[in-house]
A and B are shown apart, each in its own frame.
Chain A
Amino acid sequence: MMNKLFNVDDEVYPPSEDTYLLLEAALREVEDDDEVLEVGAGSGFIVEKIKNKVKCIIGTDISPYAVKMAKARGIDVVRTDIARGIKKQFSLIIFNPPYLPTSEIEQLDDWLEKALNGGESGRDVIYHFLDSISDNLQSDGRILLLVSSLSGIDEVLKYAEKQGFKWTKLSEKRLFFEKLEVYRLVRSR
């Protein structure tokens, strides 16, 4: 995740190992009639790859640079925090969260840091997402969530259960210094 070879834009997280793992899972998951939301869509890389395979798709990002970049790719984006200000319910929600514990990150204090920084434990933004995302999920909707060992996988899954989701592991990838996993979450009740 700490890829220093930025070729997208210095302020926007470039597609990396986690992006590709989530994209592969998303390509297997999407159906023609899916209405899709990608939270934290960044440069719009994933949206662009699946937009022609679904009924509709929009992305959100809190970064002004990310939404501009995604928009320039012809993607519908909304600048917001997670999905605040969006009332629509989606059949599929995709999220590759900022998950690095603060101590792992060079303190840059810019929008790129915000795209990486998951707070003290690395789980702050994931928890924030799980707290409210139900409002935007259709009753039989699915969430694809990327989780890294750097922010603790068991803790995230426990929190998801507490928030009313059950999970299935779809894929994993071991890197030199971390393990990435993609989970499908659906409502447990």
Chain B
Amino acid sequence: MVMLMKRDLLDILACPVCKGDLSIEVEEEDEKEIIRGRLHCEKCDEFYPIEDGIPNMLPPDLRD
């Protein structure tokens, strides 16, 4: 099984609101994956956090 690399993440994920492409800001990564960072939708000006290697794609109104 392949781990989700930086490039794979962007191939798989989209903005949950507008379904548009995302860009990625990496704060911490290892050889396998991005551990901490955030995904950005330019169109919606919204950020989706990656924490402990887990992207949180919940739209802001559904986050906790």
| Residue ranges of A at the interface with B (Cβ–Cβ < 8 Å) | 51-52, 56-58, 62, 64, 67-68, 71, 76-81, 84-88
Interface range for B: 20 to 34
Return the contact of A78 from the options B2, B19, B57 (Cβ within 8 A).
B57
Return the contact of B4 from the options A58, A79, A84 (Cβ within 8 A).
A58
Q: Map CB proximity to A onto B1-24 as digits: 1 under 8 Å, 0 otherwise.
A: 111100000011111100100000
Do residues B1 and A85 form an inter-chain contact, with CB atoms below 8 A? no
Number of A-B contacts defined by CB within 8 Å: 60
Interface of B is mostly: loop
Within 8 A of A (CB), among B14-53: 14-16, 19, 48, 52-53
Interface of A is mostly: mixed
Cα–Cα, bound, A57→B2 (Å): 9
Listed by A's residue number, 26 A-B pairs whose Cβ atoms lie within 8 Å are A58-B12, A62-B62, A67-B54, A71-B52, A71-B53, A76-B3, A76-B4, A77-B54, A78-B13, A78-B56, A79-B56, A79-B58, A80-B56, A80-B58, A84-B57, A84-B58, A85-B13, A85-B14, A85-B48, A85-B57, A85-B58, A85-B59, A86-B13, A87-B12, A87-B13, A87-B19
